[in-house]
Amino acid sequence: MSQPQLITVLGATGSIGLSTLDVIARHPQRYQVFALSGYSRLAQLLALCLRHAPRFAVVPDENAAVTLREGLRTAGSSTEVLVGEQALCDVSEAGEVDAVMAAIVGAAGLRPTLAAVKAGKKVLLANKEALVMSGALFMQAVRTSGAVLLPIDSEHNAIFQCLPSHYGQGLASVGVRRILLTASGGPFRCTPLPELQQVTPDQACAHPNWSMGRKISVDSASMMNKGLELIEACWLFDARPEQVEVVVHPQSVIHSLVDYVDGSVLAQLGNPDMRTPIANALAWPERIDSGVAPLDLFAIARLDFEAPDEVRFPCLRLAREAAQAGQSAPALLNAANEVAVEAFLQGRLRYPQIASMIEAVLQQQPVVALDDLEAVFEADGKARELAGQWLARHGR
Ligand code: NDP
Ligand code: MG
């Protein structure tokens, strides 16, 4: 039997990180953990190190390193603790590493994810914000290095599964008319509009079908998540924004569809459990057990579809406009959204103000070309600055 593949899991303490480690642990002959990273949940990271025995664990600062080293030493673990963003890049590009799960949330994941791409790794992309921010540069790096980029987002993984393997030559050349990106509609799909003024972070994070980190949960409630996914789909599948149609499908059983010119529509179905796309990408092009229960169509009984309401979900409109504007617009959108969501989670913004803040930032900051990574971070920083000013004027 061949050697197990060595995997780095960036963002191991998060929702995707834990699901990834659950799948990995089911296949010890196939996969071993090379490195894990955490940020604030150090006790969780320690437990994961003891369970998966990685060669390296990465934490954000020296204080965290001292705490983690002490815990590891007491337990007799030989895991080595590394510190900071450069260490995240190092464990992503290390020669021994076969695959990197990019599951840090937000812009913080961009540099380490790009390091994995540039090193030509198999990159399992959950961190959609990285691709949204730097799309053209990111995809150019994939082409240059020969990295294998596999989507973890359930919708994009579904689309990937419904496309033929040679889709890279362009959607038209494989007979695709459009991509149908499904959305659950989140917890506020039917909430009376005036009540949205009062909704709390906990209500926003109570997703009807998926259990996820708090940032993506708020994004799902506002449908900014679908907007980011629209941009993500354009880059991953070389599609134009108008080739991607959002379809609200409240049951989250169909994870997305591909509509072909002959009238065939291919869909991928499954229980809403991220271990399915994770196992699909980890083992691709093979298939492995993910631990997910078989789909029970009789229990589901019906599947519903509706058009998205952009009055209820202005973030979806803002993201589509940013996708159409291109260049720095998606990076500005993403950064303003990160600030807005954080402020909402801290109780400093009301839910409808998330969209207002993002729109204000996009109106103030001109769109420019992004020729290099510095330009990406400059756009990101400028949007954060403007968002901070807006928050000071309108937040509580
Ligand atoms: P979580 O909030 O659960 O996890 C985020 C991870 O990133 C944690 O390990 C966290 O560490 C780490 N982290 C947070 N901030 C930083 C930082 N500044 N520097 C380094 N590490 C950091 O999020 P999810 O797992 O839900 O989501 C992760 C990514 O996957 C997101 O981009 C999301 O959009 C995407 N995704 C998630 C899905 C899901 O079902 N959860 C579905 C599709 C995509 P710690 O916890 O120790 O603070
Ligand atoms: Mg998704």
183 found inside a domain: yes
Domains identified in the chain, total number: 3
The domain spanning residue 360 has which CATH number? 1.10.1740.10
Q: How far is ligand 2, taken at its centre, from the CA of residue 294, in Å?
A: 20
Query: Do 285 and 376 sit in the same domain of this protein?
Result: no
84 found inside a domain: yes
Query: Do 306 and 345 sit in the same domain of this protein?
Result: no
Instruction: Establish whether residue 58 lines the binding site of ligand 1, counting it when its CB lies within 6 angstroms of any ligand atom.
Output: no
320 found inside a domain: no
pLDDT in tens, 77-92: 999 999 999 999 999 9
- Could you say which ligand is closest to the alpha carbon of residue 102? 1
pLDDT in tens, 219-240: 999 999 999 999 999 999 999 9
| Confidence class for position 170, pLDDT limits 50, 70, 90 | confident
**Which region holds residue 23: left if phi is over 0, alpha if psi is between -120 and 50, else beta?**
alpha
Query: Do 237 and 365 sit in the same domain of this protein?
Result: no
Phi, psi of 267 (to 5 degrees): -130, 155
Please tell me the pTM assigned to this model.
Answer: 0.98
As a whole number of angstroms, the distance between CA 278 and CA 194 comes to: 38
Query: Do 21 and 146 sit in the same domain of this protein?
Result: yes
Residue (of 90, 129, 103) closest to 231 by Cα position: 129
Which pLDDT score is estimated for 169? 82
As a whole number of angstroms, the distance between CA 214 and CA 345 comes to: 8
Q: Give residue 12's domain range.
A: 5-151
Which pLDDT score is estimated for 1? 60
For residue 57, give the 3-state DSSP assignment: strand
Burial environment of residue 154 by CB neighbours within 10 A (0 to 12, 13 to 18, 19 or more): buried
Using CA atoms in the order 201, 202, 205, 210, what is the torsion angle rounded to 10 degrees? 180
Instruction: Establish whether residue 277 lines the binding site of ligand 1, counting it when its CB lies within 6 angstroms of any ligand atom.
Output: no
Query: Do 164 and 146 sit in the same domain of this protein?
Result: no
Q: How far is ligand 1, taken at its centre, from the CA of residue 111, in Å?
A: 15
Which pLDDT score is estimated for 226? 98
Query: Do 163 and 143 sit in the same domain of this protein?
Result: no
Percent of the chain at pLDDT > 70 equals: 100
Strands, sheet with 265-269, edge to edge from the N-terminal-most edge strand: 244-248, 176-183, 254-260, 265-269
Using CA atoms in the order 37, 74, 43, 69, what is the torsion angle rounded to 10 degrees? -40
Structure tokens of 245?
């149609």
What distances in angstroms separate CA 242 from CA 105, 181, 205, 239, 283, one per listed residue?
27, 12, 30, 8, 32
Q: What is the mean pLDDT of residues 355-384?
A: 98
Burial environment of residue 111 by CB neighbours within 10 A (0 to 12, 13 to 18, 19 or more): middle
Which pLDDT score is estimated for 178? 97
Instruction: Establish whether residue 129 lines the binding site of ligand 1, counting it when its CB lies within 6 angstroms of any ligand atom.
Output: yes
Query: Do 53 and 179 sit in the same domain of this protein?
Result: no
The answer to which of 150-164, 199-213, 314-328, 366-380 has the lowest mean pLDDT is 199-213
User: Which residue type sits at 58?
Assistant: V
Instruction: Establish whether residue 41 lines the binding site of ligand 1, counting it when its CB lies within 6 angstroms of any ligand atom.
Output: yes
pLDDT in tens, 3-57: 999 999 999 999 999 999 999 999 999 999 999 999 999 999 999 999 999 999 9
How confident is the prediction for the chain on average, in pLDDT?
97
Query: Do 171 and 206 sit in the same domain of this protein?
Result: yes
| Confidence class for position 2, pLDDT limits 50, 70, 90 | confident
pLDDT in tens, 267-297: 999 999 999 999 999 999 999 999 999 999 9
pLDDT in tens, 186-198: 999 999 999 999 9
Query: Do 137 and 200 sit in the same domain of this protein?
Result: no
As a whole number of angstroms, the distance between CA 148 and CA 146 comes to: 6
Looking at 284, 314, 344, the residue that finishes a domain is 314
